[in-house]
Amino acid sequence: MPKKKVIETKKLGRVFINGDIEVHALSEINISIEEGEFVAIMGSSGSGKSTLLHILGCLDQPSSGEYYLDGVFVNTLNKNELADIRNQKIGFIFQSYNLLARTTALENVELPLVYDRTGRFSNSKELAKKALEQVGLGNRTHHKTNELSGGQQQRVAIARALVNNPALILSDEATGNLDSRTSIDIADLFVTLNNEGKTILMITHEPEIAQFAKRIIYLRDGHVLTDELIHNRSTKESALKDLELIT
């Protein structure tokens, strides 16, 4: 049985116009990602990684080309439909966590369910608690944002991305603000979630983090440079061993 396509783009392009200057941030992007994949996106600064992620996450719309998310043709959706699709099909993880200040972990994780209009979730507290357990923070549910370490905050953010059971988890440099060891923990958490069936797409600058994924896409100047499967994936153990060799 062929697997379902979570992402399919056809000749996707994004042009920013600043006065007279046109910036072609993305052009001719053809990507197809199936359910259960774990993809890392790499590329130098300004290569268009974030721009791509914003379009895939329905925060931005392409200037040209077509985008299908979980079978939905995104190009023609209006603002409210885009908001709803973000709420139902996407889980975002950001470099700077973006948690609500002075708010408990549980309430932060509940947040996407506040905007759920489908009514498919009956007990949001229960779901948020479960998501926090999934990221290993079952004992921190009532801690406030400022009482958690950076790594813990990012785990809360990951739980928030999981709570609505999205078709796709998008992460833009989730480990960018964390030390190497904590980064490896987060990457390992992604692997665990992927093993549980989540489709994950993560942007990263760090090759050793990208190495945890199953597939790497390199971008350069808004084009796909390479798109390859990884044969010798890192594990937490191998990554920690490599880390010790350096230090």
Ligand X SMILES: Nc1ncnc2c1ncn2[C@@H]1O[C@H](COP(=O)(O)OP(=O)(O)OP(=O)(O)O)[C@@H](O)[C@H]1O
50 touches ligand X by CB under 6 A: yes
94 touches other proteins by CB under 8 A: yes
Whole-angstrom distance, CA of residue 25 vs CA of residue 171? 19
Whole-angstrom distance, CA of residue 70 vs CA of residue 5? 6
51 touches ligand X by CB under 6 A: yes
175 touches ligand X by CB under 6 A: no
62 touches other proteins by CB under 8 A: no
222 touches other proteins by CB under 8 A: no
155 touches other proteins by CB under 8 A: no
Long-range pairs, 180-186, Cβ under 8 A, ≥24: 180/208, 180/243, 181/240, 181/243, 182/150, 182/151, 182/154, 183/209, 184/208, 184/209, 184/236, 184/239, 184/240, 184/243, 185/151, 185/236, 186/151, 186/154, 186/155, 186/158
Whole-angstrom distance, CA of residue 17 vs CA of residue 193? 38
47 touches Mg ion by CB under 5 A: no
Residue at 18: amino acid letter: N
Task: Choose from ligand X, other proteins, Mg ion, none: what does 117 bind? Cβ within 5-8 Å by kind.
Answer: other proteins
Pick the binder of ligand X from 48, 62, 112, 166 (CB under 6 A).
Answer: 48
115 touches other proteins by CB under 8 A: yes
83 touches other proteins by CB under 8 A: yes
Count of residues interacting with other proteins (CB under 8 A)? 31
Provide φ and ψ at 189, rounded to 5°: -65, -40
Least distance between ligand X and beta carbon 10 (Å):
20
Summarize as ranges the residues that interact with other proteins (CB under 8 A). Answer: 54, 57, 59-60, 79-80, 83-84, 86-88, 90, 92, 94, 96, 98-103, 107, 111-112, 114-117, 119, 160, 164
Summarize as ranges the residues that interact with ligand X (CB under 6 A). Answer: 16, 18, 23, 25, 43, 45-51
